[in-house]
Structure 1
Amino acid sequence: MKEFYTVGDVQIILGVSRAKAYKIIRGLNEEMEEEGYKTLKGRVNKSKFDDRYMYKGKQRNGVV
């Protein structure tokens, strides 16, 4: 099971260019570093990415 997404993964998931995918990864990795985590260039933590970019259908008062 993958713990990190690569630039290619981000491109496919979001349908963005390679340059945009790198920009997204850099931004998320900066956040991770500010939180005290170590990061890998060109890869982003799957949980952090999913938390920021994947719609989870959070409910409010029983409505999705």
Structure 2
Amino acid sequence: MNKTKNLNRDVFVRVDTLMNELKISKALAYRLMKEMNDELRSQGYLTISGRVPKAYYHARFFGMGVEKS
């Protein structure tokens, strides 16, 4: 595997990851992926269809790095 593919795996989450980690259908995974990309786009970020940054996915679903008081 080349360096670019390794970087891509380390940085982005794809639909299959959502399906496996969240135990959801492919259709729902695609809908959630689109919603996250729409949110990122509205914040001014460039997006890639079918992929979202791993850090954003974890923050959005699991609240990683966000402390609630």
Indicate the structure (1 or 2) with the bigger Cα radius of gyration.
1
RMSD: 1.8
Structure 2: tracts of 5 or more residues without a match = 1-6
Runs of 4+ in 1 over 6 A off after TM superposition: none
Identity of aligned pairs, percent?
A: 28
Structure 1 gaps, min length 5: none
5 Å-filtered alignment, 1:1-64, equals 2-56=10-64, 58=67, 60=69
Q: TM-score, normalised by structure 2?
A: 0.76
Identify the residue that residue 4 of structure 2 maps to in structure 1: none
Higher share in helix? 2
Size of the aligned set, in residue pairs, is: 60
C-alpha displacement of 1:58: 4.0
TM-score, normalized by length of structure 1?
A: 0.81
